[in-house]
Structure 1
Amino acid sequence: MEELEYELSFYKSGEKWGNKKDIAYKILEVDGLNSRAINYLVEVYGRNNQRDSINVLFDNLIKTNSVNPKIYLIRASERNAYFSGLTFSQRINYLKKAKALDNENIEATYSLGKIYYELFIREFTNNKKKANLDHYAKSSIDYFTELCSIDEKFRETTKYPLIQLYNYRNEKTKSKELKLDNFQTSYFPVSAFVGLPENLETDFSVNVITNVSDFSVSGVESALFSINWYSEHLNALNEPVLSDTLPTKIYRFTYLRSFDNPIVIRLENHNDIVSIHWKVSNGAGGYEPGEIIVNESKELTTEEWRLIENKINSIDFWNLPSAETEIMGTDGSHWILEGKYLGKYKVVDRWCGGAISEIGKELINLTDLKIEKDKLY
């Protein structure tokens, strides 16, 4: 099975795309709900304008797996809906079937809330009669709040669309409560990576979940992609979440290069006792994090601390945008600098260093790490 799945995942030089349907069907003979095989077939048929073949495929799969919510979730996924031309109503029906089989299914509940939210945004921006706005807003709120009751970590994911929807419905108290909610489930707050318009609360035309189209707004899902990626590496490096339970002043530099070992450097100042800690894993910044292969620390002088702090102040670190919306390359590096000081927290993420490159290099110099020049990018 693994060999067959691997065969689907790549193409040899000169090999024609889409000629591996037989492999996908072999996989389905063993695993009738294999999402990789199903998605492959849907894309092949979709790109060849063979939507009837997609319908036949799913009719057979649903007939065989009618009591399994997974098949309805695969059918209603955004990607497969696009290739098969499903309407929003059709997607909603499939998702409701999945939820009827598993009422606390997270994917079904989130997807329903997201679809109704998107319908709300679309109808609001449409100049035609807005007859369904209240229904869409309430339905999205209902599914998103239910989602949070199933798993509270989604309080971060749904916070901003719910603020919009509550304001549209003039439920100001609930909107205010959400704005004050600083719930955090990971190393980084979603608020640091999501770029939203200042008039978010009254502009109901902006889709805060997915909007990245004009590079001025980064949606929640895009923010979560970065957060989950960086958090996976920090977790593998056994790093703490920066909080007030840690020494008073902390700066942490996470250095993720596409093809080289991930590095994290943490500088701490506890009552003028300064120390620097650095770790390296054997993975790659753009891939799996691997395991820790270097874990060292040493004391520094207060002068060395001031050197870093002066550099940080020189770029106005605490007021920099956490993330920039420039188009990034496929290969390169992410430089992530965090600061925690007297209850304040800040994170700045830059592609290939940017404004924080000199600080990152100085922190590397303060460790015993030796990085070749062509590996510093």
Structure 2
Amino acid sequence: MPPNEQIRDICEFESSQDVVVDEGKISEEERAKQAKIQADIKAYEELVAMPFYKRPDIKWFNLYFMVMLHLGALYGFLTFPYFEKKATTVFSIFMICLANFGVAGGIHRLWAHRSYKAKLPLRVILMIAYLSSGQYSPLYWSRDHRVHHKFSETDADPVNAARGFWFSHVGWLTMKRHPEVVRKGKMVDVSDILADPVVQIGEKYFELWRLLFAFIIPILICVYGWNETWYYAILSQAFMRYAFSLNCTWSINSFAHLIGGHPYDKFIMPAENLVMSFFTGGEGWHNYHHTFPWDYKTSEFGNYSLNYTTILLDLFAKIGWAYDMKQPSKTLIENVIKNRGDGTHEISRKAEKAEKAH
């Protein structure tokens, strides 16, 4: 099979359900489907083994875009006159925090996990905040995240940390997907997300909204708000702030899966990473989050000092815009810590001391 057809087959691989193989009962159609699954996986493995520069599974446009974006951002970080451009500097920090709130509080905790409910005004705010991050479509993000949780650290995980830091951080965006990601992704129900009118509008005009809220409006605010030059407005918003914001989100897939403790579940890769919580508005308590993904706080106690997303959601709850905030019971958390934790949690240490005392 020619390489281009082989890759097309991998990218367009279609299968809506797992097939249980039972020789003697399996139909010819199911047998052919199973054979195609194995052939696609084998073809993908052969591609991965090829030298980097020869690999047809690399999304070269995405790779070049990422390289140029980060080179531009690096140049900006090294040359930007921060103290002379105080208004632009402060505004850039605000935009990073806004994007973090949209990602953490909106697309992640609300739409992907349904860990709480939000009234229309808050959903609109969250959607605009998410669009300001310049990431991909709301439906695409939510579906990928559900697949990530359901098949974490397997070939079906879009950001599989078992494939290393580079892949889980940004490499997954520069490579064509593993056949299992495509296949398993079709099994994940996202009908509840599509039922939201805010998501429908966000999806229908996504490219326009992203361009407006992530780039055009922030740049215009800098230029017409305090007479920033076009050069520094574009450098700060389209390169520096955008690249920094992206890496904040990506770091949860990489750093927070590879570095940190496992006080809640020592049998999974996601870890507690305080530094990542600081940079993402409270998303770094990742061992807890993967253990209790329905908790709207994504951490055991909220940790307000490093979880401004939870602070804001609690404030919106006080005015009735956020409600039905889901949390696991204290008893459940304690039982999980004792049975599955690595012993570093305070509850585990107290239990160990009590046991030694007896």
Normalising TM by the smaller chain, what interval? under 0.3
Answer 1 or 2: which has greater strand percent: 1
Q: TM-score, normalised by structure 1?
A: 0.26
Answer 1 or 2: which has greater helix percent: 2
Between the two structures, name the one with larger relative contact order (CA 8 Å, sep ≥ 6): 2
Q: TM-score, normalised by structure 2?
A: 0.27
